[in-house]
Structure 1
């Protein structure tokens, strides 16, 4: 029978994490980091597109400005997806 290693959990007296718990915690942290990175990227795209498309802010966006913003963000998203896909292909080929 395999003995599960345990690691102390900082800040919690007597609390220990097993290997499975630690792996799950790492997975959750990675997922949260991905969410934060995605949110930051969306904000960055919107800032760039806002500067490009919005000449003067008003109470409402006209249709030309809305179309510009939509197209701008779509281009960034398409580019990010293409880069991510290509990177995944390179990593997969490197692992073979």
Structure 2
């Protein structure tokens, strides 16, 4: 990257940061989908989820998002305290 001027280096850093953030989001979605599916869908999948499966999936996703948000806030707090 030393061959590029400062503006190009900054643009590349921004691009790489965005791509890494998108990859982290995609990985989180994959992890959430896999865990919640394994936990909640116990029978053979059909065209509709049972009421219990639907409720379990909604709660699982909500808890996953709550946990993720909590972790992000904790990491932000640690970063600001350094």
User: Aligned equivalents of 1:34 and 1:46: distance in 2?
Assistant: 18
User: How many residue pairs end up in the alignment?
Assistant: 80
Q: Which runs of 5+ in 2 are unaligned?
A: none
Correspondence list, 1:1-96, <5 A = 7=3, 17-56=4-43, 57-94=45-82
User: Aligned equivalents of 1:80 and 1:36: distance in 2?
Assistant: 15
User: Aligned equivalents of 1:90 and 1:25: distance in 2?
Assistant: 27
| Structure whose CA Rg is larger | 1
- Indicate the structure with greater helix content: 2
- Indicate the structure with greater strand content: 1
> Alpha-carbon deviations, 1:12-35, whole Å to 9, x = none?
xxxxx3111111111111111111
Displaced runs of 4+ in structure 1, greater than 3 A?
A: none
Please state how far the C-alpha of 1:63 moved relative to its aligned partner.
Answer: 2.4
Please state how far the C-alpha of 1:66 moved relative to its aligned partner.
Answer: 1.3
Q: TM-score w.r.t. structure 1 length?
A: 0.77
